[in-house]
Chain A
């Protein structure tokens, strides 16, 4: 994964828009680095692409899939991925992730269900309220989760540091009343994209 991030930096460096070269804008955040870790985004199966202006990124997964039933091993029912971000807010301000969009596909037999659970926290701070999206069978269709917290439950970075923001994704498939000897149910995430970053002034010192 480090390799992917380095490749991203190299691109930025070649084009002269690395963070070191560019003045920090005062109206938006600058993404410094993105790391991935977890059973759903192991090295070689997930990629991070940071935009050349360092304001947006996309995570793509090739094997973030939770499954139950024929062909699934007992540990396949749950897969996780932690996205760790270091983000520079404009001077004198702090930020919160204003939402994230997750895209994927679910194929669920009658009686089966799947859930995507999301939490986030800044290193050393308390964890955000759990937000979860549930899908129930029978279905076989695209899945789009736009996870937008209300303002009151947004978690802001503490002022005066550059803490890592950890976003935890937990994907589960549950057999429920479906017959796992005859059917397979799965949910797969393909991509995750932040929708916005919300800024707030820090108290002046």
Chain B
């Protein structure tokens, strides 16, 4: 945990640069502190997820080694669903509010005909009555890399309170359904390999 926290510190130290370099018309809040407080779940158990600052931009990226759902031959009965909850503390400067712009996922899917998969991402703040949910669906047959982008509708970002200094939560859930496939004869899996949080959207209050 301490290790991920330090990585969180590294993210914080570097994030200011992206904000400055970002050519988007958003107001510039200056350097922003982002701390990774915890990352945990069946899909990102201790020792299976690594968090870093993405050189290609964004708030943070996570790579997973165990965020894999599987059904069919060899799959455990509880293997059809995995989740991961990330808690970040983001300190909005006075006079600014931010919104989570979205996330980009990559992975690999090997899905027998008849199976289907969904990846649901929820983002919310403390005591949030209006969490945002993105749902991606994968249809079979499929045997390929998977790249999914869940971007907030730029017309309706879900902003934090002004000057928010609280927790921001990102929750991901991956499910794989047997559907009409024959689990005694086939085996299917979906492996989520990384998630990148896109650069935050800022507004002046």
Interface residues of A (CB under 8 A from B): 3-4, 6-8, 10-11, 14-15, 17, 44-53, 55-56, 58, 60-63, 65, 67, 69-71, 105, 107, 183-184, 186, 188, 190-191
Q: Is the CB of B127 within 8 A of A60?
A: no
Residues 154-202 of B contacting A (Cβ, < 8 Å): 165-167, 169, 171
**Residues from chain B with Cβ under 8 Å of A105 in the complex:** 81, 83
Nearest CB of chain B from residue A19's CB, rounded to whole Å: 15
Nearest CB of chain A from residue B12's CB, rounded to whole Å: 10
Given contacts A62-B44, A63-B45, contact A107 B78 (CB under 8 A): yes
Q: Assess whether B96 is interfacial by the CB under 8 Å rule.
A: no
Chain B: interface size category: 20 to 34
- Taken together as a complex, chains A and B put the C-alpha atoms of A184 and B166 apart, in Å, by 40
- Taken together as a complex, chains A and B put the C-alpha atoms of A44 and B38 apart, in Å, by 12
20 sample A-B contacts, Cβ–Cβ < 8 Å, listed by A number: A4-B38, A15-B91, A17-B165, A45-B40, A48-B38, A51-B167, A52-B35, A52-B166, A53-B166, A58-B38, A58-B87, A60-B41, A61-B41, A62-B40, A62-B44, A71-B77, A105-B81, A107-B78, A107-B81, A184-B78
Q: Is the CB of A63 within 8 A of B76?
A: no
Nearest CB of chain A from residue B146's CB, rounded to whole Å: 22
Q: Is the CB of B91 within 8 A of A56?
A: no
- Taken together as a complex, chains A and B put the C-alpha atoms of A123 and B9 apart, in Å, by 37
Q: Is the CB of B127 within 8 A of A3?
A: no
Would you list the 6 A-B pairs with minimal beta carbon distance, nearest first?
A184-B77, A49-B87, A47-B40, A47-B38, A60-B40, A49-B37
